[in-house]
Chains A and B, each alone.
Chain A
Amino acid sequence: MERTEAGDAVILRTEAVSRRFGNFVAVRRVTAEFRRRALTSIIGPNGAGKTTYFNLLSGALRPSQGRIILERRDITGTPQQRLVRLGIARSYQITSLFPQLSALENVRVALQALTRSRYNFWTPRARLAGLAERAAELLELTGLYHRRHRPAAALAHGEQRALEIAVALAGAPRLLLLDEPTAGMSPEETREMMRLIVGLAERHTVILVEHKMKLVMGISARVMVLHHGELVAEGTPEEIRRDRLVRRVYLGQREH
């Protein structure tokens, strides 16, 4: 790939990254580029390796082989808490919140993580300037403001998924990784979520994992298809729709 030309348009690149679990290869030599301020979707059937690939991108797992480059910087093996500070944030396929904390505190704690006084043990936390206000804004954006005082555990499923995104957004991320944000949602909630994601993609670089292909075709700039851990196709939604291999391995299985 022509690095010079792609240079600035590309925010993240993986070079032949693999991840094995014992003898099993969950992600196999995936080489891909992600463009800035675009919505890229990663699709693929169950067990294709999408979540594992996300874990590699977000630093939750180390690649067994290959390199990951964020802007011109090699971030392979950098721990997750450092990557957050470099602007990589993620949401989880299985809701991962602070269940007993209020919606507001969930976001506030995430915001606090990026301040210098994050481990301060003496100043009252309410005195950290602007965090609660910023948290309230993010809840407003994700439609949860009226629920801000509820514990995360007491929110409806769709609301929890939205809160996941608010928490991920707290990092003011340059790169937002969303792992099946619509998992388990009703059609109504799904539509709502998709609207939110499209809005986010206008201001952020979003990588979206989804296994329902139909959902992403209309909104993605690029689509990547994973199958058995391998990148089997990559292109615009139109190209993906026409791709023979994709039709066989993916559409053939899931959308009959």
Chain B
Amino acid sequence: MDLIGATAVARGWRLWEPIARHRALAVMLFIAVLPWVTPYQALATNILIYGLFAAGFNLLYGYLGLLSFGHAALFGGGAYACGIAIVRFGLPWYAGLALGTLGGMAISLLIGALATRTRGIYFAMITLAFAQSLYYLAYQAQGWTGGENGLRGVNVRRVELFFLPLDFTDPVARYWLMAALVGLALLALSRILNSPLGAVIEAVRENEARARACGYDVAATRLMTFVLSGGFAGLAGALQALELSTVSIETLDYATSGLVVMMTLLGGAGTFFGPFVGAAVFALIQDVFSLWTVHWQLLAGAIFMLFVLFLPRGIWGYLLEWSEQRQATQSS
């Protein structure tokens, strides 16, 4: 068992093993302490949402090895699906979340049907092009999406949770509800990584030709992974729609696609915990630096570059590597 997600990757960790075995629980614990360590609560919610988004992206990039530059389409698509369900159809909040998740999956099925025949730069470009088309579509379809003003009025006031009424306008109650939902999503993600499909995903990343020779359909594996990844991204988008009571057109912007790539790399691609670490660090950088200077993005960019140059495996990836080496030297 290990945090790279592969029970099969043969590495002898002792220190990390308990965390690794209960990786979803460990992340939930992290989520639980988050609101107390962040300067204010909205930041914690932000980390929660982007952490889930990045975890979904990581399934595709870190575990399967496909770099998508169009994940905004899945995140924003989920946000709009949820928002439209609530604003235009008056559906309840849980239907909004379900439709957001399904929306993310449907869009990735559409994009994936074409894009998963390719890989590398071609895959990145096709996903980017699709995401840009969706941006344009949302921009034009004002009647549905509110166009450039965004979709307003995604208001949820009360939430009946197993007959327990919850005041959704109370940020603390909202945080716990969202934390619980993200926790469930992470359990599902952990289960996927542990499943037979999880083994295939790693096999395809490790050696595509070999996976094919074993009898796996590589294109189908890519498509399934992309759709699952889209589900997590879509749910994250839907949660954001509920959190902000509005869906802005920026959720579909390519900057959002870039953001999730950066968060994942910063935290450690291909590790279970990494995306959350990346989302947290990124949110903190933004929060702290934007107080100092309006040019905070310049600083964030510089920090990101330093990380890519000197910690290519990301923060969490580096910690894992370090503890692994320490144990190797101790046991030898």
Q: A: which residues have CB within 8 A of B?
A: 58, 60, 80-81, 84-85, 89-90, 92, 96-102, 104-105, 108-110, 112-115, 117-126, 128, 149-151, 154, 167, 170-171
Find chain A residues with CB under 8 A from B217 CB: 81
Could you count the A-B residue pairs with CB atoms below 8 Å apart for me: how many are there?
Answer: 121
Find chain B residues with CB under 8 A from A171 CB: 214-215
How long is the Cα–Cα vector from A102 to B1 in the complex, in angstroms? Answer: 12
Q: B: which residues have CB within 8 A of A?
A: 6-11, 191-192, 194-200, 202-203, 206-207, 209-217, 220-221, 224, 228
Question: Are the C-beta atoms of A125 and B216 separated by less than 8 Å?
Answer: no
How long is the Cα–Cα vector from A84 to B214 in the complex, in angstroms? Answer: 7
Q: Which 10 A-B pairs have the closest CB atoms?
A: A105-B8, A84-B215, A102-B10, A98-B206, A113-B215, A121-B197, A113-B214, A110-B214, A120-B196, A96-B210
Min CB distance A105 to B, Å, is 3
How long is the Cα–Cα vector from A112 to B199 in the complex, in angstroms? Answer: 9
Min CB distance A24 to B, Å, is 22
- Residue in B194, B199, B224 with the greatest tally of chain A CB atoms within 10 Å: B199
The closest CB in chain A to the CB of B197 belongs to: A121
Question: Are the C-beta atoms of B214 and A124 separated by less than 8 Å?
Answer: no
The closest CB in chain A to the CB of B220 belongs to: A119
Given the interface contacts A97-B207, A101-B206, does A81 sit within 8 Å of B215 by beta carbon?
A: yes
Q: Could you show 5 A-B contacts with beta carbons less than 8 Å apart?
A: A85-B215, A100-B9, A121-B198, A123-B196, A125-B199
Question: Are the C-beta atoms of A99 and B207 separated by less than 8 Å?
Answer: yes
Find chain A residues with CB under 8 A from B7 CB: 125-126
Find chain A residues with CB under 8 A from B210 CB: 92, 96-98, 167
Complex partner residue of B221 from A105, A119, A120, A150, CB under 8 angstroms: A119
Find chain A residues with CB under 8 A from B203 CB: 98, 101, 109
Given the interface contacts A90-B213, A96-B213, A102-B10, does A109 sit within 8 Å of B207 by beta carbon?
A: no
Min CB distance A75 to B, Å, is 14
Given the interface contacts A80-B213, A85-B215, A102-B9, does A119 sit within 8 Å of B197 by beta carbon?
A: yes
Min CB distance A87 to B, Å, is 11
Find chain A residues with CB under 8 A from B209 CB: 60, 96
How long is the Cα–Cα vector from A58 to B46 in the complex, in angstroms? Answer: 51
Min CB distance B112 to A, Å, is 15
Complex partner residue of A128 from B11, B196, B211, CB under 8 angstroms: B196
The closest CB in chain B to the CB of A171 belongs to: B215
How long is the Cα–Cα vector from A97 to B11 in the complex, in angstroms? Answer: 18
Question: Are the C-beta atoms of B6 and A101 separated by less than 8 Å?
Answer: yes
Find chain B residues with CB under 8 A from A125 CB: 7, 194-196, 198-199
Inter-chain pairs besides A100-B202, A151-B9, 5 sampled, C-beta below 8 Å: A96-B209, A96-B210, A98-B211, A121-B192, A125-B194
The closest CB in chain A to the CB of B195 belongs to: A121
Min CB distance A129 to B, Å, is 12
Find chain B residues with CB under 8 A from A80 CB: 212-213, 215
- Residue in A81, A84, A115, A124 with the greatest tally of chain B CB atoms within 10 Å: A81
Find chain B residues with CB under 8 A from A92 CB: 210, 213
Question: Are the C-beta atoms of A101 and B8 separated by less than 8 Å?
Answer: yes
The closest CB in chain A to the CB of B12 belongs to: A149
Given the interface contacts A119-B224, A121-B228, A171-B214, does A98 sit within 8 Å of B196 by beta carbon?
A: no
Question: Are the C-beta atoms of A118 and B213 separated by less than 8 Å?
Answer: no
Find chain A residues with CB under 8 A from B197 CB: 119-121
